Amino acid sequence: MRAEIIAVGTEILLGQIVNTNATFLSKELANLGIEVYYQSVVGDNRDRLKGQLEIAEKRSDLIVLCGGLGPTEDDLTKQVVAEHVGESLIQDPLGYEKLIDYGKKQNRALTENNFLQTLILTNSQALQNPTGLAVGIFYTAEESQTTYLLLPGPPKELQPMMVQSVRPILKQVYQESSQLYSRVLRFYGIGESRLVTELSDLIATQVNPTIAPYAKENEVTLRLTVKTTSEELAGPLLDDLETKIQTRVGNYFYGYGEDNSLVKVVVALLEEKGKRVTAAESLTAGAFQRSLGELSGVSSVFPGGFVTYSAQTKIDFLQIDYTLIEEFGTVSQECVEAMAIQSRKLAQTDYALAFTGVAGPDELEGQAVGSFWIGLASNEGVSSHFYQVAGNRETIQNRAVMAGFELLRRELIK
Amino acid sequence: MRAEIIAVGTEILLGQIVNTNATFLSKELANLGIEVYYQSVVGDNRDRLKGQLEIAEKRSDLIVLCGGLGPTEDDLTKQVVAEHVGESLIQDPLGYEKLIDYGKKQNRALTENNFLQTLILTNSQALQNPTGLAVGIFYTAEESQTTYLLLPGPPKELQPMMVQSVRPILKQVYQESSQLYSRVLRFYGIGESRLVTELSDLIATQVNPTIAPYAKENEVTLRLTVKTTSEELAGPLLDDLETKIQTRVGNYFYGYGEDNSLVKVVVALLEEKGKRVTAAESLTAGAFQRSLGELSGVSSVFPGGFVTYSAQTKIDFLQIDYTLIEEFGTVSQECVEAMAIQSRKLAQTDYALAFTGVAGPDELEGQAVGSFWIGLASNEGVSSHFYQVAGNRETIQNRAVMAGFELLRRELIK
């Protein structure tokens, strides 16, 4: 089972966007036990795409194409593949209906080229697009048995389509007697190199299950993968390896699963315990609350909060005494504790997080870029924590947000 | 002059690392006026790399390889290229000396395989590595005149080598009298398919400059690119085409440049006019303020604001009369206008944006997912605007944030 990935898009060849789709798809296929032997990129050009298909069909059983399913003249992946395999293009009824519906809802006249997006090959399987309009295609050529998988280019459309529609099909089609079973462990507060060092002998000697570390933004995950014939056999093998890992680095472990995050774990803990949180954000200017707001149903644990970016709004919104700010400054233990206490009182919640510090690029109140305070108020009082991190504005703000969630998580599980 | 890039490395095919080298190299080559027609990735495998070279030499004049120059058994790019072009491998004297020196300094015995890194092809030009030990290679085959450029895989080594050694060589070898000059126009409030339809005849007939549309999240950009001999000649050609475009779709145009955004344009306008803005966010839970907070120096135009996710915080934080909410609900024109007026008053700013609506996944107050109100308060009073958009929670929130910035931009330029 040899696969290759062809990304279609001149903007990749111009270096304007990074080909993260290839990375995502490679990972997905690897998880399904399908080996990717080549990745390639061609521009929005009929002849060169055709040439690439000719090369690919000689060497691969599964050809995954992404990009070029949109409504513009540049989008020609479907047309070229149809011609290459000798099929016609027809409208997918479901996709067509969704597009018509979309036009009505947006109160917008649909142009003729809109309907290019909902074309599929004859004798193919349509892949619905949960987050967009372009329909994907799964097609196996009768004679050569080469499979063509056509996916949309925007990662926001490609990823859900891959997870929801393609994974089940590939599992079914390429099912082997042994399958891969994975478990993802998530760690916060430990860097990838230290995690790998702590586990180096395990990583080097483990064959089945294997351990694959991935550094993500502000966290590290470990994917344990075992190849075996049933989920019942996989479980104990994964349990055994996980126990060894947890013994060494369990203090940094916060949760399971690819589709998980520190924020989700914290919100689940709040829901479970029936507690609510608010925030007063200076340094992070709403980023902590925005992370909460991304999750649906968060209103039961988060009623709202404050963005107090200036000294004056700390005084006006939070009723902090201006003499406190005059005496200690806004980037201070005293200020962050007052922010946490006051926001908790005003929002009538169980917990309040407060953030104040220097996101940069310039120093503030004589304090270096990357230094910040986080305060946590609860019914037991208030605690405050000082951090000094390196990085640019975005990195510093994101690290502060994550540190805030970690403080709250530790409070919730203590 | 056709170029292609081949990255060598199994870790890319497994999705463990993103192929950012291809992006960097594509951008570098584009800036030199060299067109990249293909990117590809092969694993650390002799036969497949050889096969890829055979494909590449048929279609490209310049083949850029990156990765596989290191000291391990997996590193075989030099060996395969040497075999392919019929040259031998010899030590590069400068690189050899540097390696010996490094061994002494590190007080470390060098193993035989260390010296694989400093091999070059006979009849090639060595490219010194300012940040590592592997020597790069620039080689042109005498008969076919195909050029092979071999670069190390780690971006920290590849990038300085490209900038310091390769750029000057390529400029000299491939210097053309004409270069590429680009201008990026940014549009908000018009979809890609409609923009392309409005400009279809221009896009189809324009050869120099060319027009390339790109759909980004919530906006569309057009890149106009002209190939000519000087910036002085490029300017009027781009101006002329831009005028034609602005005549048709100028109403949706908001700014220039690759590294620009609606938020940046709004913040620049606020700074220019010495005005300040606040926000009261329900639907968007801090996302509008978070977008402002991402920009450094925003404190002069944004003192802070409110996240009023629940009805109670709208009453408590913003002092909105609870009878108003009882009568009209939180997703209402009355509520959004009150939120805007009250937050503007409390934050003492020139403008206030308020957001309330249904982000989903469930309906709220009998209103459909994706329906929302935005209010804009200023010294002239308050206006409110109803929207109904399709998409998931994240899409709806992001579209609301952008719509808010657009309302403010129009207010600031009116």
Give the count of alpha carbons within 13 A of A224, CB side only. Answer: 24
The residue to which tokens 């919640």 are assigned: A349
- In this predicted model, what pLDDT tens digit does every residue of B235-288 receive, in sequence order? 999 999 999 999 999 999 999 998 899 999 999 999 999 999 999 999 999 999
Is residue B100 very low, low, confident or very high in pLDDT (cuts 50, 70, 90)? very high
> Are the Cβ atoms of B38 and A48 closer than 8 angstroms?
yes
Question: A15 and B37 in contact by Cβ < 8 A?
Answer: no
Integer Cα distance of B2 and A160 in angstroms: 36
β-sheet with B210-216: strand ranges across: B210-216, B219-228, B179-187, B253-256
Q: Enter the ipTM.
A: 0.73
For residues B76 and B65, what is the distance between their CA atoms, to the nearest angstrom?
11
Per-residue model confidence (pLDDT) at position B199 = 93
For residue B395, the chain A residues in CB contact (below 8 A) are 131
Please list the residues that pair with A171 across neighbouring strands.
none
- Among the partner-chain residues B42, B293, B303, the one whose CB lies closest to the CB of A312 is B303
Other beta carbons less than 10 A from residue B384's beta carbon: 20
Mutation for B interface: A41, A48, A299, A319, most B CBs within 10 A? A41
Check residue B176 and give its pLDDT: 63
Mean pLDDT of all residues belonging to chain A: 93
The alpha carbon of residue A234 and the mean position of all alpha carbons in its chain are separated, in whole angstroms, by: 26
Q: How far is A162 from chain B (nearest CA, A)?
A: 15
Among B18, B59, B286, select the one facing A290 at the smallest CB separation.
B286
What percentage of chain B carries pLDDT values higher than 70? Answer: 99
Mean of pLDDT values over B222-235: 89
Residues of B in contact with A72 (CB under 8 A): 192-193, 196, 213
d(CA B366, CA B362): 10
Which two structure tokens, joined as six digits, stand for A269? 């803990």
Residues of A in contact with B19 (CB under 8 A): 18-19, 22-23, 39
Q: Does domain B180-256 have CATH number 3.40.109.10?
A: no
Q: Which residues of B touch A25 (CB under 8 A)?
A: 15
pLDDT band at B413 (very low <50, low <70, confident <90, very high): very high
**A102 has pLDDT over 80:** yes
Query: Using the beta-carbon criterion (under 8 Å), do A72 and B196 form an inter-chain contact?
Result: yes
Q: Which residues of A touch B193 (CB under 8 A)?
A: 70-72, 111, 113-114
CA distances from B266 to B191, B216, B255, B285 (A): 21, 18, 10, 20
Choosing among 3.90.950.20, 3.20.20.70, 3.30.1240.10, 3.40.630.10, the CATH entry for A262-413 is: 3.90.950.20
A-B C-beta contacts closer than 8 Å: 270
Q: Other CB atoms closer than 10 Å to residue B315's CB: what's the count?
A: 15
Distance CA B286, CA A355 (A): 14
Lookup: tokens for A276: 């609510």
Using pLDDT thresholds of 50, 70 and 90, give the confidence band for residue B217.
confident
Which among A22, A131, A303 is the nearest to B19, CB-wise? A22
Residues A84 and A46: their CA atoms lie apart, in Å, by: 11
Quick one: average pLDDT of B126-138? 94
Closest C-alpha to A298, from B318, B282, B332: B282
pLDDT over 90, % of chain B: 74
Residues of B in contact with A331 (CB under 8 A): none
CA distance B90 to chain A (A): 30
Among A135-144, A189-198, B144-153, the minimum mean pLDDT is found in A189-198
pLDDT score for B173: 81
CB contact under 8 A, A293 and B303: no
Interchain CB distance below 8 Å, A37 and B26:
no
CB contact under 8 A, B285 and A293: yes
Q: What is the pLDDT of residue B204?
A: 81
Q: Which of B77-116 are b and which e, b meaning 16 or more Cβ less than 10 Å from the residue's Cβ?
A: bbebbbebbebebbebeebbebbeeeeeeeeeeeeeebbb
Which of B159, B186, B193 should one mutate to test binding to chain A, selecting the residue with the greatest count of A CBs within 10 A? B193
- Which of A10, A26, A29 to mutate to probe the B interface, most B CBs <10 Å? A26
Least confident piece of the model among A86-100, A168-182, B54-68: A168-182
Q: Rounded to a whole number, what is the distance in Å from the CA of A30 to chain B's nearest CA? A: 6
**pLDDT number for residue B32:** 83
Higher pLDDT, A181 or B311: B311
pLDDT at position A204, please?
79
Contact present, A306 and A281 (Cβ < 8 Å) = yes
Kindly provide the b/e burial profile for residues B248-276, where b requires at least 16 CB atoms within 10 angstroms of the residue's own CB. Answer: ebeebbbbeeeeebbbbbbbebbeeeebb
What pTM, to 2 d.p., does this model score? 0.74
Q: Show residues of chain B in contact with A15, CB under 8 Å.
A: 22-30, 36
B93: distance to nearest CA of chain A, Å?
34
3-state DSSP percent of chain B in helix, strand and coil, to 5 = 45, 25, 30
Helix or strand or coil: residue B15?
coil
Radius of gyration of chain B (CA): 29
Closest of B155, B152, B166 to residue B8, by C-alpha = B152
- Give the whole-angstrom CA distance, residue A51 versus residue B232: 39
Chain B residues closer than 8 Å to A36 by CB: 13-15
| Cβ pair A8, A66 in contact under 8 A | yes
Q: Indicate whether A8 pLDDT > 90.
A: yes
Residue of A nearest to B222 (CA): A11
Query: What would the mean pLDDT of B387-394 be, rounded to a whole number?
Result: 90
Interface probe, candidates B8, B13, B225, B314, chain A, greatest A C-beta count within 10 A = B13
Domain map of chain A by residue range? 2-173, 180-256, 262-413
Q: Band the pLDDT of B117: cuts 50, 70, 90.
A: very high
Mean local confidence (pLDDT), B344-350: 98
Min CA distance, A68 vs chain B (Å)?
12
pLDDT band at B175 (very low <50, low <70, confident <90, very high): low
Closest CA to A389 of A413, A414, A339, A355: A355
Q: Helix (H, G, I), strand (E, B), or coil: what is residue A5?
A: strand
Contacts of B245 (CB under 8 A, 6+ apart): B185, B199, B202, B211, B222, B224
Angstrom distance (rounded) from CA B269 to CA B261: 12
Q: Which helix (H) or strand (E) holds B354?
A: strand B351-357
**CB-CB under 8 Å, A304 with B306:** yes
The confidence score (pLDDT) of residue A176 equals 63
Of A244-248, B145-149, B224-228, B290-294, minimum mean pLDDT range: B224-228
pLDDT score recorded for residue A391: 79
Residue B54 Cα, gap to closest chain A Cα (Å): 11
Please tell me the distance from the alpha carbon of residue A362 to that of residue A314, in angstroms, as a whole number.
Answer: 21
Contacts with B334 (C-beta within 8 Å, 6 or more apart), sequence order: B324, B327, B328
Residues from chain A that touch B51, judged by Cβ atoms under 8 A, are 59
Q: Of A124-133, A186-195, B167-176, B276-285, which range is least confident? A: B167-176
Helices B77-85 + B46-59 axis angle, to 10: 50
Q: Which of A10, A74, A286 sits opposite B286 (nearest CB)?
A: A286
Closest of A184, A170, A84, A85 to residue A127, by C-alpha? A170
Query: Across the interface, do A290 and B292 touch by the CB < 8 Å criterion?
Result: no
Q: Give domain B2-173's CATH superfamily.
A: MoaB/Mog-like domain (3.40.980.10)
Q: Quote the pLDDT of residue A208.
A: 86
Alpha helices (runs of H) in B200-261, residue ranges in sequence order: 200-205, 231-249
Q: What is the H or E stretch that residue B289 is in?
A: helix B287-293
> Does the beta-carbon distance from B204 to A308 stay under 8 Å?
no
CA distance A390 to chain B (A): 16
Taking contacts as CB-CB distances below 8 angstroms, the residues of chain B near A155 are none
* Residue B6 φ/ψ, nearest 5 degrees: -120, 115
Distance CA A350, CA A272 (A): 14
Give which of A112, A159, A150 is closest to A132, Cα–Cα. Answer: A159
pLDDT: which is higher, A135 or B71: A135
Query: Given pLDDT bands bounded at 50, 70 and 90, which one contains residue B391?
Result: confident
Q: How far apart are CA A125 and CA A90, in angstroms?
A: 12
φ, ψ of residue A41 to 5 degrees: the values are: -135, 130
Q: What are the tens digits of pLDDT across the range A71-86?
A: 888 899 999 999 999 9
Tell me which chain B residues have a C-beta less than 8 angstroms from the C-beta of A356. none
pLDDT of residue A13 exceeding 80, the answer is yes
Rounded Cα–Cα distance for residues A73 and A288 (Å): 42
A207-211, B51-55, B93-97: segment of lowest average pLDDT? A207-211
Six-digit token pair at B328?
């009209």
Least confident of A325-334, B184-193, B397-406: B184-193
Other CB atoms within a 10 A radius of the CB of residue A171 amount to: 12
Asked whether the domain spanning B262-413 has the same topology as the one spanning B2-173, the reply is no
Of the candidates B14, B55, B203, which has its C-beta nearest A30's C-beta?
B14
Q: How confident is the model at residue A218 (pLDDT cuts 50, 70, 90)?
A: confident
Q: What is the DSSP string of A70-104?
A: SSSTT--HHHHHHHHHT--EEE-HHHHHHHHHHHH
Task: Say if CB A363 and CB A373 are below 8 A apart.
Answer: no
- What's residue A153's pLDDT? 95
The answer to whether residue A155 scores a pLDDT higher than 90 is: yes
